[in-house]
A and B are shown apart, each in its own frame.
Chain A
Amino acid sequence: MSLQIYIIRRILFAIPLILGITVVSFIIANAVPADPINANLPQNALNDPELVAAFRERWGLDKSPVEQYFIYLGNLLQGDLGVSIKTKNPILEDIQQFLPATIELATVSIVVGLTMGISFGVVSAVWRNSIIDYLVRIFALIGVSFPVFLLALIGLTVFHAELGWVAGPGRLSFLVDDPPQVTGWFTIDSLLAGEWETFWDALSHLILPSLVLGSFVSGIIARITRSSLLEELNADYIRTARSKGLHERVVIVKHALSNALIPVVTIIGLLYGNLLAGAVLTESIFAWPGLGRYVFRASTSQDFPAIMGVSMLIALIYVAVNFLVDILYYFLDPRIRLK
Chain B
Amino acid sequence: MTGPVAGRGDLDSASAVPLHPAARQVLLAALDRGYADPRRLHRAGREARLLLDNAREATSDALGVRADEVTFTPSGTHAVHLGLLGLVRGSRRGDLVVHPAVEHSAVHRAVEWGARGEAVPCDREGRVLADVLAQAATASEVGAVALQTANHEVGTLQPVGEVELPDDVPLFTDACASMGRLALPTGWAAAAGSAHKWGGPAGVGVLLVRKRARWRNPFPADDRADERSTGFENLPAALAAAAALQAVVAERDEVNARHHELIDVVRRRVAAEVPDVEVVGDPDRRLPHLVTFSCLYVDGEALVTELDRRGFGIASGSACTASTLAPSHVLEAMGVLTHGNVRLSLQRETTRSDVDAFCDALPGLVADLRGRVGL
Whether A and B are associated in the same complex: the answer reads no
